[in-house]
Structures are given as C-alpha cells and as structure tokens.
C-alpha cells in the first residue's frame, strides 16, 4: 500500500471517454492508498490523461505535460506521467521527444498504475509503452472476442478488480473527480469501422461491449453519488451488443437504465447513421427518461466524399433519417460533426454539404478542417487540398452553421422544457442558474440559462426545473421557471 501522505492529481484532456478512464484510474489509486488532489501543484505525481485524436488535441496534451513538468521546479510535484490516447498511440516515440515526462504509459499499465507511480517516486525507471495496432489483440470476429477480452486492457471497463468480486454483482472501480450532476458511463470500447480519416481503432482497438450487468451496476453506483443524468459513451454506440450476440441489446438496456433509482435522464452518444435501426429509434423516443438527443456521426453529405471516407449515406438518406427522428420525437435535438477539405472534395461536394445542413436544420454542428493523421488511409489519398482552400471552406461552412444553429435555437422560444441545474449563483450574490435540457448535450451543445428572481424557490445543482424558453443567445437558450 502507498503511504497516505503520497498524493496524485489526474489531469484529463479530450473526450468524455477519457473522463471515465481517469475516474477508473482514480478508483484504482484510491484503493491502493493514494490521496487524490484536484491541483497538480499539490500532488507528488501528476498523471496527465492525454488525447491523441487530432493535431490540436495532441498539441494541447503536450502543453499540459510541459505545464505539469514546470511544477517540478521547486514545488511539491516530483513526477509527471503521461497516459491516455497520445501515450498509447506514440509511446516510446513520445517519451524520447518529451524527456520532461518521467514515464509514458499505455493502457496495459492502468491495472498496475500504483506500482508504477511508486517505482517512479522511488527513483526507479518504468519502461515506456511500445505502441502497436490494438485491433490485432482480439479476433476479427466480434462473436469470438468475449473469451479473449479478459486478457486485453479495456480502460473504463473496471476489469480485474483488486480483491474478491462481491456476491451482489459486479464491483465498480471508479472515483468521482467532480461534483457534476451528470456523468459519462462507458458502454463499449473500440471500433470496427474503417473510416479512412480516423486513427482511433488503431489505438483503442476492436469493438467490445461491456456486459449489461456491469453497465447497470455502475449506473446505480453513480446514482448513489448524486448523479441524475448518465451519458452513455463509446466509439460507436449503435454497435452495442453485436459481440454479445444481440444487436438489439441497447434498446433493451435503455429502459433498465432509466429505471435505476435516482437516475432522471439517460443520454446516448455517438450513433452511426448506417447502423441506426428502427428499433433503436423507437426505444430512444418511447422510453420515459431517455433524453431526446441524437448525436449522429454524419461527417459529410456528398456521396463521393463519403465513399472516399469509406462511409455510407447521402444527402437524401440523411434527410430521411432526420425526418424519422423528428416524426417520433418532435422536440429532439440532433447534433453532428462534419469534415471539410477532405482529399478530392470539390466545390460541388461542399455545396451538397451546405444544402444538407440548410435543409436538416440540426441543433448543433461541429465543423472540422481535414488534416492528415498518422497511419490512416486518407493520409495517402490523392487530391490533397491546399491549406488556404481548407481554411476558406472551414470558415464558410462554420459561418453557415453558426447562423443555422442560432435559427434552430430561436425556434425553441415558447417551448416548455425540463432543465437539469448544473451551476447556481453564489449564496451571497445574485445571478442566473445554468443547466441543460434533454436535447442539449454536455460541454459542447449549448446551455439553458434560468432567469430567477426573489420569488423563485431555492434551487440546487441536480434539480430538474420545468421552464419556458423566452429567448435564445446563439445556441444557448434563456428560460424562466414556471
């Protein structure tokens, strides 16, 4: 066991999946006697959970590692350790280029993280991770993976707990690192799709579903700690259950999650349009407690570009899907990300994308300019566009999206909504509350500002308030409690 005076801070970058991984690491370290602190400046060891998705995310991760390393100059911090996707993806290469990090550890190190940190603090050396294609660690057939999963590290799954598994069900290995009333909950890891622009499957591995009993156990654990909304995360939620022999497993799981005592809202993320089944749409729309929120990975709308991305779909097919969602759930919020400047993209392709965005009237759209990613097929495709052309298209589509999303928010004025309160003003001051409706996802999809006055009953973080939308500010809404 680690002496109780030894402290560790986890610095998390990137997506909500990384947040789950950090909280699993925190749970493991807490069980081994480490003291968790919020600020890296107050910790003996700073563990930086990096992101390796796109160039900007990589830069942000390296900046965070350098910033943490600066704390070793005369402060309490004695070691900085890189973990997460950037560490998994580049391993020893990152270690050689970033000597400021005392170790660069991959996913396979998570189970023994306490031992590694103790070794580093004692002046020992922990070998840097040697990267490889994690897709090769499991059988090609999803049905054959279950027997091998126990031998492959799955961050966020809480596998191989320390000590006996309690007879009441799966043991949860996690520690909350914030007081938010919502929490991400990982239902799967990895991806079997082969999109030409994406490197994620190489360092996250083949698709593996968590068993429903493990997901439900963690949802109950979160509810016991005040979580009101669980945000189901994965690389591809629409594939959930395929390796367990049941492609309809997600629609069966949703009612069980919504029935967990204390959970008021279940939100599903990252749906692949080619895999969205009528049964899943029905379950999401008809199950009380499931948020009317559809995070759909369109990526583009021009068929030639989509095929070059090795993706299915078209503007008519995507518009039909949007229509089917709104027929079942008129209040639904639909969001997506799109890429502009993909190799070979023409002005006609951009026109097709803009036509789709104008006709679909999505709630939130993230627009990204294409950039080559190491090891991806797209990096070797012909027809690369010049950076100024990509920048111009990025600016053009971003400005269109900003206008369209603001118009969509304005259409919500007059609607009655249920708002999960996430921020309250200081007890000794005045101010508005901040929260989210069911159709607003966390962090990137806008918020709802609750205008309160002296007559408003006292509200706290985690309350759900019925309110009327009175105005919009960009993608954000302003509402008044009823």
Instruction: Give the tens place of pLDDT for each residue, 145-156.
Output: 988 887 899 999
Domain residue spans of the chain: 7-131, 144-411, 415-481
Which pLDDT belongs to residue 52? 86
Integer angstrom CA distances of residue 299 from 35, 336, 393, 398, 421: 42, 7, 15, 14, 31
Rounded to whole angstroms, how far apart are CA atoms 133 and 406? 42
Tell me: the pLDDT tens digits for 378-396? 999 999 999 999 999 999 9
Stretch 115-142: mean pLDDT = 95
Which residues contribute to the annotated binding site for [4Fe-4S] cluster?
A: 15, 51, 85, 191, 195, 198
Domains 7-131 and 144-411 in one fold:
no
Q: How confident is the model at residue 457 (pLDDT cuts 50, 70, 90)?
A: confident
Q: Tell whether the model's pLDDT for residue 211 goes beyond 70.
A: yes
**Domain topology for 7-131:** Rossmann fold (3.40.50)
What's the pLDDT at 66?
A: 94
Q: Is 90 exceeded by the pLDDT of residue 39? A: yes
Please state the CATH superfamily assignment of the domain spanning residues 415-481 in this structure: Nucleic acid-binding proteins (2.40.50.140)
Segment 433-453 mean pLDDT: 94
Averaged over 449-467, what is the pLDDT?
91
Q: pLDDT at position 368, please? A: 96
* Spatial CB neighbours of 472, under 8 Å, sequence gap ≥ 6: 406, 409, 410, 412, 413, 478
At 21, give phi and psi (nearest 5°): -60, -40
- Residue 230 reports pLDDT greater than 90: yes
How high is the pLDDT of residue 169?
A: 64
pLDDT at res. 2: 63
pLDDT at 421 over 90: yes
Give me the architecture of the 144-411 domain, per CATH.
Alpha-Beta Horseshoe (3.80)
Average pLDDT over residues 316-326: 98
User: Could you tell me the maximum CA-CA distance found in the chain, to the nearest angstrom?
Assistant: 64
- pLDDT tier, 132 (very low <50, low <70, confident <90, very high otherwise): very high
pLDDT of residue 54: 76
159-185 residue pLDDT tens: 654 444 455 667 899 999 999 999 999
The share of the chain scoring above pLDDT 90, in percent, equals 89
């Amino acid at each position: 066991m680690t002496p109780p005076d030894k402290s560790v801070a986890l610095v998390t970058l990137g997506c909500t999946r990384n947040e789950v991984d950090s909280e699993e690491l925190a749970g493991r370290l807490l069980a081994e006697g480490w003291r968790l602190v919020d600020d890296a400046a107050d910790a003996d060891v700073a563990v930086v959970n990096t992101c390796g998705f796109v160039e900007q995310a990589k830069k942000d991760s390296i900046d965070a590692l350098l910033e943490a390393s600066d704390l070793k100059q005369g402060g309490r911090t004695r070691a900085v350790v890189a973990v997460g996707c950037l560490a998994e993806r580049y391993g020893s290469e990152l270690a050689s280029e970033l000597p400021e990090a005392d170790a660069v550890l991959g996913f396979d190190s998570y189970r023994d993280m306490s031992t590694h940190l103790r070794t580093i603090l004692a002046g020992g050396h922990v070998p840097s991770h040697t990267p490889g294609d994690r897709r090769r660690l499991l059988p090609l057939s999803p049905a054959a993976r279950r027997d091998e999963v126990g031998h492959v590290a799955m961050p966020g799954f809480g596998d191989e707990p320390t000590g006996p598994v309690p007879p009441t069900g799966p043991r949860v290995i996690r520690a909350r690192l914030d007081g938010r009333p919502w929490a991400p909950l990982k239902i799967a890891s990895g991806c079997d799709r082969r999109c030409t622009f994406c490197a994620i499957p190489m360092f996250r591995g083949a698709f593996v579903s968590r068993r429903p009993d493990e997901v439900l156990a963690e949802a109950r654990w979160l509810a016991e700690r005040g979580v009101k909304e669980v945000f189901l995360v994965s690389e591809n939620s629409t594939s959930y259950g395929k390796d367990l022999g049941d492609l309809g497993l997600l629609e069966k799981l949703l009612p069980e999650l919504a029935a967990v005592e204390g959970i008021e809202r279940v939100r599903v993320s990252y749906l692949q349009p080619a895999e969205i089944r009528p049964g899943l749409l029905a379950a999401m729309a008809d199950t009380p407690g499931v948020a009317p929120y559809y995070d759909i990975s369109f990526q583009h709308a021009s068929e030639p570009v989509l095929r070059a991305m090795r993706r299915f779909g078209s503007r008519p097919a995507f518009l039909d899907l949007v229509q089917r969602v709104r027929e079942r759930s008129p209040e639904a919020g639909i969001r997506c990300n799109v890429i502009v400047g993909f190799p070979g993209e023409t002005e006609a392709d951009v026109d097709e994308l803009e036509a789709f965005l104008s006709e679909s009237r999505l709630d939130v759209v993230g627009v990204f300019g294409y950039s080559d990613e190491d090891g991806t097929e797209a990096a070797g495709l012909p027809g690369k566009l010049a950076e100024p052309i990509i920048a111009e298209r990025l600016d053009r589509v971003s400005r269109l999206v900003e206008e369209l999303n603001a118009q969509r928010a304005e259409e919500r004025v007059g609607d009655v909504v249920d708002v999960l309160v996430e921020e309250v003003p200081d007890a000794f001051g005045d101010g508005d509350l901040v929260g989210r409706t069911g159709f607003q996802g966390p962090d990137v999809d806008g918020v709802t500002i609750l205008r309160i006055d002296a007559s408003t009953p006292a509200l706290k973080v985690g309350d759900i308030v019925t309110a009327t939308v009175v105005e919009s500010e960009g993608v954000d809404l302003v509402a008044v409690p009823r």
